[in-house]
């Protein structure tokens, strides 16, 4: 599941294993984030996430998938989008690991170029970003 976090601070959603020990977490950075398939249900039902959705700070990215057939876990959600939508989502993504995953699996040249461009933006210094107007 892809979600867009419309805040500049980092938010971490923690899940306990039932015995009070934190077993998993989802780290949300500003922009587009990927929630592991195994955590989607728990994530969607978490009180903090429900509040974020109702406040408009968090929303899901529509992948355009029409059926409920599970996708292979190695296939990123980006692959289900048309190129224009995929490039738009890449431009909003600040999660380097997710961008690198997409770069490794994406077959469309335009989307690949967009991912490379976004990765380069993340590597720029603050002075370089000001110089380029980013």
Is 4 in the same domain as 58? Answer: yes
In a domain, 118, yes or no: yes
In a domain, 93, yes or no: yes
- Is the overall model pTM greater than 0.75, yes or no? no
**Tens of pLDDT, residues 46-80:** 888 998 998 989 988 765 543 333 343 344 577 77
In a domain, 70, yes or no: no
Is 1 in the same domain as 57? Answer: yes
Give the mean model confidence (pLDDT) for residues 1-6.
87
Is 86 in the same domain as 47? Answer: no
Is 89 in the same domain as 50? Answer: no
The domain containing residue 101 runs over which residues?
Answer: 76-134
Percent residues over pLDDT 70 in the chain:
75
- Helices (runs of H) and strands (runs of E) counted in the chain: 6, 5
Number of structural domains the chain divides into: 2
Query: Are 95 and 29 in contact, with CB atoms under 8 Å apart?
Result: yes
């Amino acid at each position: 599941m892809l979600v867009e976090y419309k805040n500049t601070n980092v938010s971490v959603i923690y899940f306990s294993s039932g015995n009070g020990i934190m077993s998993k977490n989802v780290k949300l950075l500003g922009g587009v984030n990927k929630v592991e398939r195994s955590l989607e249900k728990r994530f969607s039902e978490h009180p903090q996430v429900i509040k974020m959705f109702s406040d408009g700070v968090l929303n899901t990215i529509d992948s355009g998938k029409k059926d409920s057939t599970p996708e292979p876990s190695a296939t990123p959600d980006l692959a289900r989008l048309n190129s224009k939508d995929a490039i738009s989502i890449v431009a909003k993504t600040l999660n380097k690991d997710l961008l690198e995953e997409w770069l490794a699996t994406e077959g469309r040249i335009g989307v690949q170029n967009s991912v490379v461009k976004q990765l380069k933006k993340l590597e720029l210094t603050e002075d370089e970003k000001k110089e380029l107007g980013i």
